[in-house]
């Protein structure tokens, strides 16, 4: 099919839930993708932080090929070798003790919410159920996850929403302290908010949040669906703060492009799920887990992480240089290769101009350009992207 055939068929048969660009991508290799008309693009969207190893990473492709010809799926009523191998590498490289596998970020957060409530009922008392989340957060699209997501635009007309959530401004410790009641059981947050605008939690704030949770006996839940798994130069974003969560959700990059999510927890918390309490038919199935094991084995590598940090600093400096050239750039945000540029002009025309010059980026919040390239990107690729941006921005000034 060519581009217009794909779009026409899609418009006829697929629900209209995405503000899609008028293009169809049909091939990817490393940091590049190609559309159905043969145009090549440098990909700084990376499937929304999913393709951290680039497109069609040979280790992931080989693991999927091999597993697909051996065993695609069996139920979790049996032990699954690739699943336990992936569990081992995640746990041995994190501060958490046990993992539950599912299929998406929303499902991981749904599990996190259920687990927090189970823990609260067991250890805190019958009236402890409330979870405090942050303005501009994003936790996914299931009913509980979208209720945890403190952005009214996503909740419109979905009422009645599940109860037990309360929202506070991000990076505002006094507001959080104020919001805690006798019903509070947990604080849930992204260490670096993605969809909400690449907003980084302040170091001091994070220390205080952790201390508050310890003092008040609250669970701390980190949603690392986007910022986790090497994206910021550490395997997990919490490592930047020296603050450990009790529960953590992962997804996006976990299986190198294959759909998968995971929920990790400290031992005492994890034990609150007993047989029958939580399940997922596909969660951690052999194919997804084999892809995940291949991907996480690379993402957790110390040299790989060092390389991400170095390239992140290089990219960040290049963005700072842009900021000093263009007065409509307000700030450079983020960490590692999860970066953003705040702008006072409209972000969408910049995104469109980048596209026409062969660079894929996207905009989040209202006016933030977000850059989440594959972590395997080279400095030359970063230079190429920055040159395109500079070219476009100089036409705006």
110 forms part of the interface with ligand PLP (CB under 6 A): no
The interface region with ligand PLP, picked from 9-17, 190-198, 305-313, 331-339 by CB under 6 A, is: 190-198
CB of 303 to ligand PLP, least distance (A): 26
225 forms part of the interface with ligand PLP (CB under 6 A): yes
User: Which residue of 28, 82, 164, 194 would you call a contact of ligand PLP, by CB under 6 A?
Assistant: 194
Backbone angles phi, psi at 150, to 5 degrees: -85, 60
Q: What angle do CA 123, 125, 130 make, to 5 degrees?
A: 100
Instruction: Let me know: does 186 contact 215? Beta carbons within 8 Å.
Output: no
Q: Which is nearer to ligand PLP, 225 or 354 (CB)?
A: 225
Nearest CA among 192, 199, 198, 196 for reference residue 222: 192
User: Which residue of 133, 136, 171, 226 would you call a contact of ligand PLP, by CB under 6 A?
Assistant: 226
Residue 91 CA: distances (Å) to CA of 116, 220, 259:
19, 18, 20
138 forms part of the interface with ligand PLP (CB under 6 A): yes
Backbone angles phi, psi at 258, to 5 degrees: -85, 140
Q: Which is nearer to ligand PLP, 154 or 326 (CB)?
A: 154
Question: Residue with the closest Cβ to ligand PLP?
Answer: 105
The interface region with ligand PLP, picked from 70-78, 87-95, 99-107, 164-172 by CB under 6 A, is: 99-107
* 218: helix, strand or coil: coil
x-marked contacts with ligand PLP along 361-380 as a string, rule CB under 6 A:
--------------------
Q: What angle do CA 112, 308, 226 make, to 5 degrees?
A: 25
x-marked contacts with ligand PLP along 50-89 as a string, rule CB under 6 A:
----------------------------------------
Backbone angles phi, psi at 69, to 5 degrees: -90, 0
Cα–Cα distance, 234 to 219 (Å, whole number) = 23
Q: Which is nearer to ligand PLP, 106 or 368 (CB)?
A: 106
β-pair partners for 261: 102
283 forms part of the interface with ligand PLP (CB under 6 A): no
DSSP-derived letter for residue 2 is -
Beta strands in 66-211 (DSSP E): 98-102, 130-134, 165-168, 184-189, 192-193, 199-200
Token digits for 295? 């991907």
CB of 262 to ligand PLP, least distance (A): 11
CB of 153 to ligand PLP, least distance (A): 16
Cα–Cα distance, 326 to 63 (Å, whole number) = 45
221 forms part of the interface with ligand PLP (CB under 6 A): no
190 forms part of the interface with ligand PLP (CB under 6 A): yes
User: Which residue of 28, 54, 105, 245 would you call a contact of ligand PLP, by CB under 6 A?
Assistant: 105
The interface region with ligand PLP, picked from 75-83, 133-141, 204-212, 285-293 by CB under 6 A, is: 133-141
Q: Which is nearer to ligand PLP, 184 or 226 (CB)?
A: 226
Q: Which is nearer to ligand PLP, 104 or 147 (CB)?
A: 104
Exposure on the CB side of residue 144, measured as CA atoms within 13 A? 19
Cα–Cα distance, 290 to 131 (Å, whole number) = 34
β-pair partners for 341: 332, 369
Cα–Cα distance, 330 to 385 (Å, whole number) = 19
262 forms part of the interface with ligand PLP (CB under 6 A): no
The interface region with ligand PLP, picked from 77-85, 223-231, 262-270, 288-296 by CB under 6 A, is: 223-231
Instruction: Let me know: does 173 contact 147? Beta carbons within 8 Å.
Output: no
The interface region with ligand PLP, picked from 62-70, 98-106, 167-175, 273-281 by CB under 6 A, is: 98-106
280 forms part of the interface with ligand PLP (CB under 6 A): no
Residue 41: enclosing H or E segment and its boundaries? strand 40-43
Q: Which residues bind ligand PLP (CB under 6 A)?
A: 104-106, 109, 138-140, 190, 194-195, 223, 225-226, 251-252
């Amino acid at each position: 099919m060519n581009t217009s055939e794909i779009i026409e068929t899609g418009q006829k048969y697929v629900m209209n839930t995405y503000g899609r660009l008028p293009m169809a991508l049909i091939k990817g290799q490393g940091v590049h993708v190609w559309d159905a008309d043969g145009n090549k693009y440098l990909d700084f969207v990376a499937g929304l932080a999913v393709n951290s190893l680039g497109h069609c990473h040979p280790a992931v492709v080989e693991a999927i090929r091999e597993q697909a010809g051996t065993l695609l799926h069996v139920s979790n009523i049996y032990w699954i070798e690739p699943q336990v191998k992936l569990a081992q590498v995640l746990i041995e490289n994190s501060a958490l003790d046990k993992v539950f596998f599912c299929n998406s970020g929303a499902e991981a957060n749904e599990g996190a919410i259920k687990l927090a409530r189970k823990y609260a009922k067991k250890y805190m008392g019958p009236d402890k159920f409330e979870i405090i989340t942050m303005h501009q957060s994003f936790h996914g699209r299931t009913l509980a996850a979208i209720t945890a997501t403190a952005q009214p635009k996503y909740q419109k007309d979905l009422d009645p929403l599940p109860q037990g959530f309360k929202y506070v401004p991000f990076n505002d410790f006094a507001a959080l302290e104020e919001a805690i009641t006798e019903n509070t059981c947990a604080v849930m947050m992204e260490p670096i908010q993605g969809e909400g605008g690449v907003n980084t939690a302040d170091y001091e704030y994070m220390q205080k949040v952790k201390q508050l949770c310890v003092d008040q006996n609250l669970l701390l839940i980190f949603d690392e669906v986007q910022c986790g798994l090497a994206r910021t130069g550490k395997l997990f974003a919490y490592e930047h703060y020296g603050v450990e969560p009790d529960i953590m959700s992962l997804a996006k990059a976990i299986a190198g492009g294959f759909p998968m999510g995971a929920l990790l927890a400290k031992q005492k918390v994890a034990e609150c799920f007993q047989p029958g309490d939580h399940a997922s038919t596909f969660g951690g199935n052999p194919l997804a887990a084999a892809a995940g094991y291949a991907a996480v084995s690379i993402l957790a590598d110390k040299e790989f992480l060092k390389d991400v940090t170095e390239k992140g600093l290089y990219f960040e400096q290049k963005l700072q240089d842009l900021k000093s050239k263009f007065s409509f750039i307000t700030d450079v945000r983020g960490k590692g290769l999860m970066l953003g540029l705040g702008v006072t002009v409209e972000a969408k025309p910049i995104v469109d101009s980048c596209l026409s010059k062969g660079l894929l980026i996207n905009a989040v919040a209202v006016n933030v350009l977000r850059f989440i390239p594959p972590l395997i990107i080279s400095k030359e690729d970063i230079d190429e992207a920055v040159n395109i941006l500079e070219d476009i921005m100089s036409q705006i000034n």
